[in-house]
Amino acid sequence: MFDVNEFILKKAKELGFGDVVVLSHEMNRRQIRFANNEITVAKNWHERKVELFVELEKRVAGTTITELSEENIERTLKTLLSNMKGMSPKEDYYGIAEGPFQYRDIPETFDKAIVELDELGEYVERAINAALEEGAKRVAGVLYTDHNRLYLTTSNGVEAFDEGTGIEISVRAFIGDLESGHGTNSVRVLKKFDPESAGRKAGEIASLARNPEQGPEGKFDVIFDPLAFANLLSYMSFMTSAYAAEAGFSFLVNKLNQKVASELVTIKDIGNLPNGYGSRKFDDEGVPTRETTIIENGTFKTFLLNTSLAKKYGTETTANAGLIMPRAWNILLEPGDYTREELFEEVKRGIYITNVWYTRFQNYVAGDFSTIPRDGIFLVENGELRPIRNIRVSDNFQRILEGIKALGKESHHIHWWEVRTPVSTPYVLVKDVGITRATI
Amino acid sequence: MHDLVEFAVEKALELGASYAEARFEEKTGTSIAMKNGVPEGLSILADKGIGIRVLVDGGMGFASTNVLTKESISEAVKKAVKLARAASKVRNEPIVFSEEDFHRVSYKVKMKKDFRDFSPEEKLELLRKVEEEVKATGVNVPMRYLSYSDQLWKKVFLNSEGAYVKSKIPRVSITYNLVVFENGQMEQAPFVQRAFSGGLELIEKDEPWSWAVKDVLALKKLIYEGQKPPEGRVDLVISPEVVGIAVHESVGHPYEADRIFGREAAQAGESFVKPDMLGERIGSEAVTVIEDPTIPNSWGFYLYDDEGVKARPRYLIKDGIITEFLTNREYAAKLGQRSNASARAINYNREPIVRMANTYLAPGDYSFEELIEDIKLGVYMVSFNEWNIDDRRYQQRYIGREAYLIENGEIKHPVRRPILEITTRALWSSVDAVGKEVEFFPGTCGKGEPGQGVPVWMGGAHARLRNIPLRRP
């Protein structure tokens, strides 16, 4: 689609636009949804679209073009121009990156075998059967395959191409109304795909969770399963965007170079993570993606930036454009040195939370939030697990990070409906987590 | 566009589908944001495409494309049919749709002030007005994120059973996040939205700047005068805004038939409600909850759903009794009923699934004064920030943003973050009186995978809850 990109760029320059970014997508996505051990719907999406960003004397505008005829492209550009002429400038706009750049292939982000895969039902059946073998009665979930091509052309000398694939599954297993478990598996190359592991984990947790009792409230040491902690880190990823901080949606406001977490905590964004579900060769302005340390040994080091925001703050881009709003690619919490068993041994009396959902904030800048454990929840007492139900984590983001006292040594890459930004995280032990519940 | 949707349906039938539908959607519009007084730029929306859904051998397939040629649509139809056929092999029983009466209709929502006639700069003026009015209060509001959005939704729906529905619905909204810093303390009104189906005149009449001013003044007062809320068993009066979120989360969602039957189990969850609970008491006699897509100019407005079924008000709870679930054709058939037109899709590239539209607590006959006059000790919760509910829609919590102490029948000083954490049954059983006036608040309801955030209104009249456990942070 570079011919389309070049046509758009040429016409945009002719009309007098300054910075121009043309990002074209060709997307093929397949989905199988299942519930009650059967397929509820199978879907296919085929889309071609051009995301266009233009600047005219510090006035900025963006649109997506899906009808790619020359007439429509010219009409769209003229519409943008006429709309922008009377507009007030974005005074804090400082331009896009100067290309060209060199790009390196990211290992394990493209696999022809996924593109050529024909029959997907077999993977679904394998996941369902694995969960049933562990004792589940009802299994629900979703399987996706992805094939994306990206073509980027900018007015600052960038011409870049990336092609990626992915396959992922999310499985939730149920026994009764109150006993459930969840497992996921998200990879970019077929040979690493393991739908059984997701099904097995979901089934195992559901089986362990049989006959749960009402959970307690108070302060508890909590072991977060990677699935659960990924949810919190995924929400946090948005808060690491400089845009979120300026707009009043981040507890990291005014905390650069301050301690915001336990010494054990190092959190990175890795745009070029091999086999990472969010990995891409370049950001939306063409800067090669890379590893950025956001929190290092507990100290907050940087917000995620694009070129314009970086210039505003007198620093360098972190290759996270989003031209208006920088965003994370793959968030990674560095693992620690505990085996899973050692982590559970650390807890004399605490709670193991396997999954959470519905994380919502009372106050974004303060970081006060609650989130609801779902699927298996367990009281941990001297190495024994006792299933419980109906509790809520009610705490503060920064306090959770400060309260981390041990990290598992294995990292798990999580991406599903509730974890939109992919997260790699180990098991995490946090001390004195606030737990509440409804009393009537 | 009629030709292309007709072509898609005919093609699907030719390829062996027992049922086929095609939905063309086009969305056009603008959005503008302003951050701390600086315009963030303009975003122009121009999106269109076709989605095709078919049943083959009792399996369901869906495909969409935004390349609007016969070749591309034909390709999408083939994929949908192939996927449906493959899906039918991993099913215990075939999917069957309920019998419905279909119509050939066309409808639209009129705009008195058509937003297409106004420039982005004129729309930006609406956000400037919010800025100016907030500034004029003298309250320190260092973080201000404002956004304006308008969209014209055009749809053409056609199915193989004779439905043809053409609609045009404009939608317009303003959203703000305001962070108040006073006296070394900070309070926040995040993601507050005012939203309607119709033209710019609705925003002008609603005056979102007045809502913003009310919010920052309330937050300032909370900072200077806020005290701890009472703890333990007290009475609680919740405003139409808080009532709205509660009916949406704990009545609307658990009554969605696809959730009741487990189709959403892996994502939005299941439901504590079971099919045999129709007719069961879930709340006091004061509680009637209605779901109505047909409210003029509402954010969740539609007259025909995305399966071509005519919409009507639905009584989810009547006088405390569960009376109706929200259904689409698939789950209406399972229940042996007709669909009540709850199938909605957010765009051409999404399947229609069971959704809410405008959910509200029906009015009672109490004035606001009557609701509070005999409360010895209680709280009036006007607005909320944090809220959530478990995935069976039973254990929920709502934390007040603006809230006041009620003492001996009078509204007193503000209280900080009163927490209502309660089960659905306890919540609706505790209501002993409902106010006379109904108000609505907009929201985006999330469900489905990939996610489908649909516009909804939530609201109702004030409700009084007796003797419920209120908590503090």
Query: Is the predicted pLDDT of residue A40 greater than 80, yes or no?
Result: yes
The pLDDT assigned to B67 comes to: 92
Contacts with B, A 84-103, CB within 8 Å? 84, 86-92
CA of B398, closest CA in chain A: separation in Å?
A: 9
Say whether B48 and A138 touch across the interface (CB within 8 A): no
In this structure, are A256 and A168 located in the same domain? no
Closest among A187, A193, A136 to A165, alpha carbons compared: A187
* Chain B CB within 8 Å of residue A71 CB: no
In this structure, are A300 and A315 located in the same domain? yes
Long-range contacts of A39-42 (CB under 8 A, 24+ apart): A39/A121, A39/A124, A39/B59, A39/B87, A39/B90, A39/B91, A40/B60, A40/B87, A40/B263, A41/B60, A41/B61, A41/B62, A41/B87, A41/B351, A42/A120, A42/B59, A42/B60, A42/B61, A42/B62, A42/B83, A42/B84, A42/B86, A42/B87
Q: How far apart are CA B384 and CA B144, in angstroms?
A: 19
Contacts with B, A 39-58, CB within 8 Å? 39-49
* Chain B CB within 8 Å of residue A113 CB: no
* pLDDT tens profile A139-189: 999 999 999 999 999 999 999 999 999 999 999 999 999 999 999 999 999
Residue reference for tokens 């393991």: A194
Which pTM was predicted? Answer: 0.97
* Chain B CB within 8 Å of residue A132 CB: no
CATH, residue A186: 3.30.2290.10
| Spatial contact of B328 and B257, defined as CB atoms under 8 Å apart | yes
In this structure, are A243 and A158 located in the same domain? no
Q: A-chain residues within 8 Å CB-CB of B451?
A: 417
- Determine the residue of chain B that is closest to A182 in CA distance: B266
The pLDDT assigned to B1 comes to: 77
* pLDDT tens profile A234-283: 999 999 999 999 999 999 999 999 999 999 999 999 999 999 999 999 99
> How many structural domains are present in chain A?
2
Task: List all residues 6 or more positions away from B276 whose beta carbon is below 8 Å from its beta carbon.
Answer: none
Q: Indicate the class that CATH gives domain B1-225.
A: alpha beta
CA of B106, closest CA in chain A: separation in Å?
A: 26
- Determine the residue of chain A that is closest to B143 in CA distance: A248
In this structure, are A253 and A187 located in the same domain? no
For residues A308-337, give the mean pLDDT. 97
| Domain termination site, one of A205, A223, A241 | A205
For chain A, the helix, strand and coil percentages under 3-state DSSP, each to the nearest 5: 25, 40, 35
Domain assignment of residue A173, given as a range: 1-205
Measure the CA dihedral B246/B250/B255/B261, to 10°: 150
The pLDDT assigned to B2 comes to: 83
Q: A-chain residues within 8 Å CB-CB of B261?
A: 36
In this structure, are A185 and A235 located in the same domain? no
In this structure, are A191 and A255 located in the same domain? no
Say whether B469 and A439 touch across the interface (CB within 8 A): yes
The amino acid at A273 = L
* pLDDT tens profile A331-340: 999 999 999 9
* A380-to-A222, B125, B186, B308, B365 alpha-carbon distances in Å: 9, 57, 37, 52, 51
Mutate to test the interface with B, among A21, A363, A389, A416 (most CBs of B within 10 A): A363
- Option in B48, B389, B391 nearest A66 (CB): B48
Say whether B41 and A324 touch across the interface (CB within 8 A): yes
Q: With bands split at pLDDT 50, 70 and 90, how would you rate the model's confidence at A86?
A: confident
Q: With bands split at pLDDT 50, 70 and 90, how would you rate the model's confidence at A290?
A: very high
Say whether A372 and B389 touch across the interface (CB within 8 A): yes
The pLDDT assigned to A223 comes to: 98
| Domain termination site, one of A183, A205, A227 | A205
| Domain termination site, one of A205, A239, A274 | A205
**Residues paired with B17 in a beta bridge:** none
Contacts with B, A 238-297, CB within 8 Å? 243, 246-249, 253
Which positions of chain B have pLDDT values less than 70?
none
Every domain of chain B with CATH number 3.30.2290.10 lies at: 1-225
The pLDDT assigned to A263 comes to: 98
The pLDDT assigned to A34 comes to: 98
